[in-house]
Structure 1
Amino acid sequence: MTTSHWGQLLLLGALWGGSFFFARIAVAEIPPLALVLYRVSIAALVLHVWLRINSISFMPALARSGSFLILALLNNVIPFSLIFIGQTAIGAGLASVLYATTPLWTVLTANLLTADEKLSASKLAGVALGIVGAATMIGPGFLSNFGGPTWAKFAVIGAAISYAFAAVFAKQFRDMKPVVVATGQLTASTVLMTPIVLLLYEPRDIVSSNISIWMAVGTLAILTTAFAFILYFNLIASAGATNASLVTLLVPASAIILSTTFLGERLELYEFFGLALIISSLVVVDGRFLRWR
């Protein structure tokens, strides 16, 4: 990857790490699946306005609406639902580490389904090192939360596998502008999530009068979803599915750093060590330093 790709990856990791911070605030008063709908629908609306202001046509996405419904299922609806279901029975530490296995599944999926992202020893070694780093950052909490029913663990792993297929599937949209791809996916996610939320909740159950809750929802939708997915699809188009999926290794580190910075939490020694392992894993996957050596 180029220096620009690494910069985008780090920014994306910070944004998606921040999504846990803002979701934690919003979910206090808004049901999880309703929050998903708010997140994707507001983000889709913002991106449609952006397209209109910049005179970018949405028609190419409409022409491939079936493909965007599949992308929305793989990249939003299925993984969001599986993660929520899994976290009803297992701890957040274990769920985060299982989520961080996404690059491993992406490496394997890309090797099977693509011609330009074949398996390599450096990719496997780097991803394995990153997963260990993510587990280390969780620290004692990971070990204490290691229990729980098998089905819940498979649910989160299923979400990681769904993300892997989504990353590979999204490569077919490389001929489209990343902002159009992001708008298409989020619009399709809104179409899919709306009947689910209307079926499960009464209108009074999904509305809050707390302004801080809506500020968190807005930030979650605009920064960590609309803008973040533009970065994500640009990375897939220019750097490949495997490289783009490395962001999931950065998310736990980003979330912990943000909570330390803004919530006054103290970074422990094992968290520094885990962060060092994650950085090392990215260097190994990139391969340039090893080739130089």
Structure 2
Amino acid sequence: MSRAITTNPTTPALAPTPTTSPPHRFPALDWRIRFGVLSLIWGFSFLLIKVGTQGFAPFQVTFGRLLFGTAVLAAALAVKRERLPRGTRTWGHLAVAAFLLNALPFSLFAYAELTIPSTLAGICNATSPLWGMALSLVALSEDRPTRVRVAGLGLGFIGVLTVLGAWQGFHGLDTKGTALALLASLSYPIGWIYVRRTLAGSGHSHLSLSGAQLLLATLQLAVVTPLFTSIPDGLPVGPLLAIVALGALGTGFAMLLQYGLVAETGPTTAQMVTYFIPVIATIAGVTLLGETLTWSTPVGAVVVLAGAALTQVGTGRRARPGRSAGAFPQEGPSDVVVAPLPPTRDVARPGTPETPAAADASTTSAWQPDAPHTPTANRHPTGAPRPSVPHHERADKS
């Protein structure tokens, strides 16, 4: 006997739940394209410095560069609605980092290019990984030397001597300008080591720390520049545009590109841009500025890059992308602000062993909210969440 199915007329039928489509996002450019753009921007930075110093004093070039770079990061902070970091100690460490990684090397390169060609400045910049390895062997106990890396260090410095024409007694070389460029390259790894010791794991996003760091460097130059320079008589268009491009593109936008690459490909791949910078700087200086080269310059540059590459052998196993929040790249492109890598989705909390899930977690940009999830450690093997255990029982079981 069939049973009639009746419905309650007083109960309204449930309307179908409307489905909302996720907001449309433009696909990101392939990382190889961004890698090439970053190489071009940093390679042309030395040409822009040279053009800028033709109309302004070196400190003025550096101040303008930092000012426009800070403006780009300030805009990014506003769009992402991120705040600057808090804490007196954090700002104190950032002030030191701003001096070592921005104010000092940017100024040294600007003064160096008063007397040396931009091509030589770009090649000197490529020695930063060599200085970084030499210093890390002394200052960082976890960085152990290997025969290959030590050989790369020696080969790199042989390349430096080749570029400088040591067998000719450095004939025709501007010693002061070259020394300033090499000191600028040395300043970067000193700053990297300081940052690793003081700011790694601070919990702030890389955008927040980088914005604060550039802001402090700009304030440092705002104090120093009036003491050593006078107001320029005019504003030559060419040098002014070079400074704007140097700051907005070579410092601000390039930093955003760099950390996007680090988050996607890891620091080892992202830092490979260092080896393209002197090549592009040389091509730009020769073709656009009419700078001349002797045979020893390109030959020595190749030797420098080969040595720098050998010093990086094995570093990729120690610094995987997103290993921990706030980790800093050991060696990276020199002519750029250095700040923490973007945090991962699953990171072991301080004081607790790192779980395999945390170690192998894929990186996510610090600008994107993390998806809600239940930590793996709090799940039962069946997949259900574990029941909460009172604190005193946990203490007894430990």
Report the TM-score range of the alignment, normalised by the length of the smaller protein: 0.7 to 0.9
Kindly indicate whether the alpha-carbon contact (under 8 Å) linking 1:17 and 1:254 is maintained by their aligned counterparts in 2: yes
1:179 to 2:204 alignment: no
User: Measured at CA, do residues 256 and 45 of structure 1 come closer, stay the same or move farther in structure 2, by a change above 3 Å?
Assistant: same
**SS class of match (2:143):** coil
User: Measured at CA, do residues 76 and 139 of structure 1 come closer, stay the same or move farther in structure 2, by a change above 3 Å?
Assistant: same
Shift of 1:124: 2.7
**SS class of match (1:144):** coil
Kindly indicate whether the alpha-carbon contact (under 8 Å) linking 1:90 and 1:148 is maintained by their aligned counterparts in 2: no
Unpaired stretches in structure 1, ≥5 consecutive residues: 289-293
Shift of 1:19: 0.9
Answer with 186-195 or 222-231: which moved more.
222-231
Superposed CA RMSD: 4.1
Q: 1:291: which partner in 2?
A: none
Q: 2:360: which partner in 1?
A: none
Shift of 1:262: 4.6
Shift of 1:117: 2.8
Kindly indicate whether the alpha-carbon contact (under 8 Å) linking 2:64 and 2:247 is maintained by their aligned counterparts in 1: yes
User: Measured at CA, do residues 262 and 91 of structure 1 come closer, stay the same or move farther in structure 2, by a change above 3 Å?
Assistant: closer
**SS class of match (1:76):** helix
**What does 1:191-210 correspond to in 2, within 5 Å?**
191-205=219-233, 207-208=234-235, 210=236
Kindly indicate whether the alpha-carbon contact (under 8 Å) linking 2:39 and 2:273 is maintained by their aligned counterparts in 1: yes
CA offsets 1:33-68 (integer angstroms, 9 cap, x no match): 011000001110111011101222223588721111
Question: Residue 52 of structure 1 aligns to which amino acid in structure 2?
Answer: A
Question: Residue 188 of structure 2 aligns to which amino acid in structure 1?
Answer: Y
Question: Residue 152 of structure 2 aligns to which amino acid in structure 1?
Answer: G
Query: Aligned partners of 2:169, 2:37: CA distance in 1, in Å?
Result: 26
User: Measured at CA, do residues 26 and 160 of structure 1 come closer, stay the same or move farther in structure 2, by a change above 3 Å?
Assistant: closer
**SS class of match (1:203):** coil
Shift of 1:29: 0.9
**What does 1:47-66 correspond to in 2, within 5 Å?**
47-60=73-86, 64-66=90-92
Kindly indicate whether the alpha-carbon contact (under 8 Å) linking 1:17 and 1:251 is maintained by their aligned counterparts in 2: yes
1:109 to 2:109 alignment: no
**What does 1:10-159 correspond to in 2, within 5 Å?**
12-60=38-86, 64-83=90-109, 99-133=125-159, 136=162, 143-146=170-173, 148=175, 155-159=180-184
- RCO greater where, 1 or 2, for CA within 8 Å and sep 6 or more? 1
**SS class of match (2:306):** helix
Q: 1:163: which partner in 2?
A: 188
1:285 to 2:311 alignment: yes
Shift of 1:259: 3.0
TM-score normalized by structure 2? 0.56
Query: Aligned partners of 1:61, 1:211: CA distance in 2, in Å?
Result: 41
Query: Aligned partners of 1:88, 1:80: CA distance in 2, in Å?
Result: 13
Shift of 1:192: 0.6
Shift of 1:220: 0.5
Shift of 1:31: 1.0
Kindly indicate whether the alpha-carbon contact (under 8 Å) linking 2:38 and 2:258 is maintained by their aligned counterparts in 1: yes
Shift of 1:135: 5.4
Aligned length: 278
Q: 1:218: which partner in 2?
A: 244
Answer with 55-64 or 177-186: which moved more.
55-64
Which has the higher Rg, Structure 1 or Structure 2? Answer: 2
Query: Aligned partners of 2:257, 2:136: CA distance in 1, in Å?
Result: 20
Question: Residue 282 of structure 2 aligns to which amino acid in structure 1?
Answer: I
Question: Residue 222 of structure 1 aligns to which amino acid in structure 2?
Answer: A
Query: Aligned partners of 1:101, 1:70: CA distance in 2, in Å?
Result: 22
User: Measured at CA, do residues 103 and 113 of structure 1 come closer, stay the same or move farther in structure 2, by a change above 3 Å?
Assistant: same
Query: Aligned partners of 1:25, 1:219: CA distance in 2, in Å?
Result: 11
Query: Aligned partners of 1:139, 1:96: CA distance in 2, in Å?
Result: 17
**SS class of match (1:42):** helix
Query: Aligned partners of 2:87, 2:250: CA distance in 1, in Å?
Result: 22
User: Measured at CA, do residues 118 and 76 of structure 1 come closer, stay the same or move farther in structure 2, by a change above 3 Å?
Assistant: same
TM-score normalized by structure 1? 0.73
Answer with 67-76 or 256-265: which moved more.
256-265
Q: Which has the higher helix share?
A: 1
Kindly indicate whether the alpha-carbon contact (under 8 Å) linking 1:94 and 1:145 is maintained by their aligned counterparts in 2: no
Among all aligned residue pairs of Structure 1 and Structure 2, give the percentage whose two residues are the same amino acid: 22
User: Measured at CA, do residues 161 and 61 of structure 1 come closer, stay the same or move farther in structure 2, by a change above 3 Å?
Assistant: farther
Query: Aligned partners of 2:108, 2:296: CA distance in 1, in Å?
Result: 29
CA offsets 1:153-204 (integer angstroms, 9 cap, x no match): 6655443332221122233346443333321221111111101112233334
User: Measured at CA, do residues 86 and 136 of structure 1 come closer, stay the same or move farther in structure 2, by a change above 3 Å?
Assistant: same
Question: Residue 140 of structure 2 aligns to which amino acid in structure 1?
Answer: T
Shift of 1:25: 1.5
